[in-house]
Amino acid sequence: MQIIYEDNDIAAVNKPAGVDFDWALKERQDFFVVHRLDKDTSGIILFAKNEDAQDYLRELFKSRQIKKSYLVLVVGKVKNSSGKIELSIGRSKKTPLKRVAIGEKRGKIREAVTEYKVLKKFEDYTFLEAFPKTGRTHQIRSHFAAIGHPVACDKLYSGKRYYCPGGISRQFLHAYSIEFKTQPPFDPLLAKEGKGAVLRLEAALPPELEKVLQEIKENDKNDKS
């Protein structure tokens, strides 16, 4: 298990793809769950190490005081260099596992906002950084599928636009950075008053995803030559 940061109250772990969000609890029984990542999404995940810290971090997530970013490869060329997707998300009527931004929904419909900036455009894909302003289940996957640019290798949301470069067996989605105020003892009022230090943590793109980007780059170069 790769620890990115740890102190007496919190820990940040670089989660590999292919494991559930709570895999770390088997190794570290002092960890308390704060939030989740999809099984096939890699990257930074936070854990608390006591109940006060757990309550504090959950309040920060609830009040949207935690800034997160993801590195994503999506299918097709995204037109604009940056943008915002504002589409509410609900459970799909047809496929209960899916949370959809378009089509028939059931259950509670929740507002969802994702901002993004393009990092690199390829011939058939776009590499970008996504900033979810809300924390809905499958938000990034659902939002980009809704605008016609599903996450590469995403079997659940891609439909007829399923493309998977590099032969990887997971969606190209990585929790890259997380930023928040930390102020032991964990008191939400102190954070709201602007007190405390800002902690920013990053997890580099995994080698298998870096390899995919390099292969796409090489293929584009060969196609043009």
Q: Distance (Å, rounded) from C-alpha 119 to C-alpha 140? A: 16
pLDDT at residue 214, as a whole number = 94
Band of pLDDT at residue 124, cut at 50, 70 and 90? very high
In degrees rounded to 5, what are phi and psi of residue 153? Answer: 70, 15
Catalytic, 52? Answer no
State which residues form the domain around 119: 2-224
Is residue 130 within 8 Å of 70, Cβ to Cβ?
yes
**Distance (Å, whole) CA 6 – CA 10:** 6
Question: Residue 81 has which token pair?
Answer: 């260099």
25-32: average pLDDT:
94
Instruction: Indicate the pLDDT class of residue 166, thresholds 50, 70 and 90.
Output: confident
What whole-number distance in Å separates Cα of residue 202 and Cα of residue 53?
20
pLDDT at 194: 52
Question: Are β-strands 105-110 and 125-132 bridged in parallel, bridged antiparallel, or unpaired?
Answer: unpaired
55-108 pLDDT, tens digit each: 989 999 999 999 999 999 999 999 999 999 999 998 887 787 888 888 777 778
Please, which residues have CB within 8 angstroms of residue 150's CB and are 6 or more apart in sequence? Answer: 74, 75, 141, 144, 157, 158, 159, 161, 162
Single-letter residue type at 166: G
Question: Average of pLDDT values for 170-188?
Answer: 80
pLDDT of residue 94: 79
pLDDT at 117: 98
Give the percent of the chain with pLDDT over 70: 92
Q: 79, 216, 80, 100: which is closest to 157 by C-alpha?
A: 100
Q: What is the pLDDT of residue 212?
A: 95
CATH code where residue 113 lies: 3.30.2350.10
Average pLDDT value for the chain? 89
- Please tell me the predicted confidence (pLDDT) of residue 195: 57
Q: Which of 7, 22, 30, 38 is catalytic?
A: 38
Mean pLDDT on 199-224: 90
| Furthest C-alpha separation in the chain | 60
- Which residue has better confidence, 167 or 128? 128
Provide the domain count of the chain.
1
Pairing of the two strands 32-33 and 67-75: unpaired
